[in-house]
Structure 1
Amino acid sequence: MSTFKLTYFDIDGGRAEPARLAMHIGGIDFEDYRFTFDRFNEVVSTTPLKQVPTFAIDGKQITQCNAILRYLGKKADLYPADDMQALLCDEVLEAMEDMTHKLVATFGLEEDALKNAREALVEGAISHYLKWAQSKLEEQGGEYFIENKLTVADLKVFVWIRGLNSGHLDHIPTTLVEEVAPLLNAHCERVAATPKIADYYSSRGL
């Protein structure tokens, strides 16, 4: 049997969190290797592209969070078998990753530069992506993004919405999602109530 190791920051969110959730839902054993931010340079010096997350299968490191998530989604029965539904699932994954890139580009900015950049995102790209994601959810009936059941697309959006609502992102109002795309908040609550996800966060004291 293969051994799995996921390497990422010691946070309950970010690019690795959907993969963690997929493995917990699927009952997949893995090493959840977490490190503090001050060890970033040390850790990424051992990774293929000098970035995280990485996912090691029997010691072989794989990069790219969406590639990792699709692989695990297939193993956990959280990825569509139908080609068209898989395409729609991938569309959501990649859109969320686009938005993540835009937000991460503001990390490292300070004071007015950070405030101005984040406020521009709130007024522009983030609100646009929220409305787009809500429209995709509505197209599928309003409960889940693909085939009216939980998939990795839901996990990806769930982690993104949870992050926006967290209050940990300076100059991103915690009311933004509710004001711009309230169906995504309802979706977030629905996913959070999934028994294995609720159990996972309870075990983390969250």
Structure 2
Amino acid sequence: MVVEIAYFAGPGRAEVLKLIAEVGQVEYTFKGIPREEWPNHKVTCRYGQLPYLKINDETTLYQTIAIARYLAQEGGLYPTDRLEASASEEYVAAIDDIIAGFVRIFFRTPEEKREEELKAFSEGILKTTLVAFEKVLEKNEGNLVKGKLTWADLVLYDIVVNIQSKGADISYAQNVLKLKETVAAHERVKAFLESDRNLRKQQ
């Protein structure tokens, strides 16, 4: 199987896809599309957006969560038990609400309104979701799905790294922060983070 992850030629939503592929040992190549080439490339994309995943040069899959799910399934990071799988879907959907708020504030909100919006986000959806995850992580002994590292843990890790890089205080979410440390210490995660494939390393 030949897999290609395509995104802009810089860090963004593709980093979590690469992370899942790396941890699941799914071989892939990354296609970074320069911003100046995007207008011509956009018309070839199903929804006019990135990322996309090309499989065997035959099938192209769009939407970040759908791609993440596919890579997780290929790499053994998606639960085989139906209830655990559904729980992981719930957690990823909740994290996607955080991601949507993060993107809105830091990429679509005028700078003069950003502080106010960040405060509302931090005290609202972010805190509500992370506090809920605190209970899940405590119950499930450190992972979102008990006894195993799944794609949900990696998606949570990725957004926590992002929000902390913007100065958000989540010191109240100690179990979430512990999960972040556990994921970062994973051998394949460490190898990815230290490699040139991790585009955030270049920031």
Judge same fold: TM > 0.5, yes or no. Answer: yes
Report what 2:43 is aligned to. 45
Report if aligned partners of 2:20, 2:72 keep a CA contact under 8 Å in 1.
yes
**Shift of residue 159, structure 1, vs aligned partner:** 0.2
Q: What displacement does 1:109 show?
A: 2.0
Q: Does 1:140 align with 2:140?
A: yes
Tell me the residue number matched to 1:112. Answer: 112
Asked if 2 retains the 8 angstrom alpha-carbon contact of 1:5 and 1:33, the reply is yes
Aligned to 1:130: 130
Segments of structure 2 that go 5 or more residues without pairing to the other structure are none
Question: Could you tell me which residue of structure 1 aligns to residue 61 of structure 2?
Answer: 62
Q: CA deviation at 1:123?
A: 1.9
Report the number of matched residues: 196
| Pairing of 1:23-102 with structure 2 (within 5 A) | 23-37=21-35, 39-59=37-57, 60-102=59-101
- 1:96 Cα shift? 0.7
AA at the equivalent of 1:127: K
Deviates more, 1:122-131 or 1:188-197: 122-131
Shift of 1:183: 1.4
Worse-superposed segment, 154-163 or 117-126? 117-126
Residue 156 (structure 2) pairs with residue 164 (structure 1): no
Candidates 166, 173, 177, aligned match of 2:170: 177
Looking at structure 1, the residues matched to 39 and 120 of structure 2 have their Cα atoms a distance apart, in angstroms, of 30
Cα displacement (A) at 1:36 = 4.4
Shift of 1:3: 1.7
Moved more, 88-97 or 57-66: 57-66
CA spacing shift, 1:42–1:181, aligned 2, 3 Å = farther
Q: Comparing 29-38 with 90-99, which one deviates more in the overlay?
A: 29-38
- Code of the residue aligned with 2:187 in structure 1: it is P
Distance change (3 Å), C-alpha of 1:140 and 1:35 = same
Letter in 2 for 1:123: E
Contact 1:18 1:152 in 2 (8 A): no
Partners of 2:108 and 2:186 in 1: CA distance: 35
Are 1:5 and 1:57, in contact at CA under 8 Å, matched by a contact in 2? Answer: yes
The letter of the residue matching 1:108 is R
Residue 70 and residue 138 in structure 1: after superposition, are their counterparts in 2 closer, same or farther (change >3 A)? same
Answer whether contact 2:102 2:163 (CA < 8 A) is retained. no
The Cα of 1:40 is off from its aligned counterpart by 4.3
For 1:155 and 1:18, the matched residues in 2 are separated by 7
Secondary structure of the 1:177 match is: coil
Q: CA deviation at 1:130?
A: 1.5
When normalised by structure 2's length, the TM-score is 0.87
Root mean square deviation of aligned Cα: 1.9
User: Matches of 2:37 and 2:118 in 1, distance apart?
Assistant: 26
Question: Which amino acid in the other structure matches residue 133 of structure 1?
Answer: F
Is the alpha carbon distance of 1:147 and 1:30 closer, same or farther for their aligned partners in structure 2, counting shifts above 3 Å? same
Which residue in 2 is equivalent to 1:170?
Answer: none
Percent same amino acid at aligned positions? 24
